[in-house]
Copies of this chain bind each other. A is one copy, B any other.
Amino acid sequence: MAKLAIVNIGQLLTLAGPKRPRVGAELRDVGIIEGASMLVEDDRIVAIGKCADLQDRIEGAIQVIDADGRCVTPGLVDAHTHLVFAGNRADEFERRIGGATYQAIAAEGGGIRRTVQRTRAASEDELLSTARRYRDWMLRGGTTTLEAKSGYGLELEAELRILRVIRLLNEEGPVRMVPTLLAAHTVPAEYASRRADYVRLVIEEMIPAAASQGLARYCDAFCDDHAFTVEETRAVLLAAREHGLGLRLHAEQFAEGTGAALVAELGAVTADHLEAATESTLIRLRDAGVQPVLLPGSVFALGSARYPAARKMVDLGLAIVLATDFNPGSSPVPSMPFVLSLACVQMRLLPAEALAAATINAAWSLGMGEQVGSLEVGKQANFLIHEFDDYCELMYFIAAPARPRVFIAGREVTA
């Protein structure tokens, strides 16, 4: 007997499909059932279908929730966030609008190094409480699973502290978190004149510690003109792979030829950003089975117009993912629905393609495609009852203060 029945779903998007990331036309096949019901037992989906076909089982449910004709989708999966840091940079945001350059702000000790300084000085409790607040915003927007990176510690203890905060948040729930070590985010100030020593520290101490303590599932690095070179990045990722970590990479955000080839070479799961990637790079990523993680929120927040070539990626057959890139500098954007709107308005993804990229494809990119990201029998009951009748309204009503009812593992959650 099912414990929970969601009935009278005007439009249910199952996102059911192949047992691998979706590509091409598959992205548009979001599995719509009209007049649907869904049955949940404990944390799992046990039945999905037309209301009429499930009538007997609905009558046996302990709790029945009437969706009132609204739209139900899988919970959103945010596959790229920098969730844990101390001190936002709203003041620098104001200064940049006023004309101050990044360089000027950085020269005064601002920018990412300021966040690093504050994060190092913050206690685990402080970091936990700030990250919980951002997590709550994400949850309100419908994010039920997210990836969270370290990268504002840049010293052994601070990086591990961030990863412990992510572990604590994951344990406290309800949002499931996947932890990534991003010690190679930038070279910290004290290593400015001896970069090689910092890379060695990452390889010899941080990666082994994070891996052996089970604090990270993935390792990421920022490969770009102003961050780490391709050679430095290769050394970091090779070490991570040896320690059993999956690989993700910030690649080709600002400059071409910064990392995407490496991603293909090393068998990384994702290449994130790719605003500067050329078509031949995209083909190489596709052929290596790498998923591009597109981060339009950072393009928008930086006031840039150079969005990644999402349309071309779909047409070439890449298994795209959409994520917020939430961070205090380039993407203070905690809302996945807004990222969906950006994907449609600015990158010309169809609403269905955007939704698949932000649910099932994102889940595959985190190694969780078998558990979450779609609504299928046996999967975790992570879903949203929207205020909308049609899923396209989720992208169309831009930045709407809508409040989906959020369910994780079969239980309604609020924040």
> Which residues from chain A sit less than 8 Å from chain B, CB to CB?
88-91, 93-94, 97-98, 133, 137-138, 140-141, 297, 300-301, 303, 305, 332-335, 337-338, 344-346, 348-351, 387, 390, 392-393, 395-403
Contact = CB atoms under 8 A, between A and B. Distances in A.
Given A97-B344, A345-B301, A346-B303, A398 B338 contact: yes
Contacts of A346: 303
Contacts of A333: 397-399
Contacts of A141: 401
Contact of A93 (B138, B303, B396): B396
Contacts of A88: 393, 396-397
A90 B393 CA distance: 6
Contact of A305 (B94, B137, B305, B348): B305
10 contacts: A88-B397, A90-B390, A90-B395, A93-B344, A138-B401, A301-B398, A332-B400, A334-B397, A335-B400, A335-B401
Copies, count:
2
Contacts of A344: 93, 97
Given A93-B392, A140-B401, 20 more contacts: A88-B393, A88-B396, A88-B397, A90-B351, A90-B390, A90-B393, A90-B396, A91-B390, A93-B344, A93-B396, A94-B396, A133-B387, A137-B400, A138-B401, A140-B403, A141-B401, A305-B305, A332-B400, A335-B399, A401-B401
B91 A392 contact: yes
Contacts of A91: 390, 392
A303 B400 contact: no
Contact of A97 (B137, B338, B348, B397): B348
A350 B402 contact: no
A313 to B, nearest CB: 15
Given A88-B393, A345-B301, A401 B137 contact: yes
Contact of A400 (B93, B334, B398, B400): B334
Given A97-B344, A98-B350, A392-B94, A398 B332 contact: yes
Nearest to A334: B400
A300 B300 CA distance: 11
A350 B301 contact: no
Contacts of A138: 401
Contacts of A399: 333-335, 337-338, 399
Nearest to A392: B90
Contacts of A395: 90, 93
A235 B390 CA distance: 42
A302 to B, nearest CB: 8
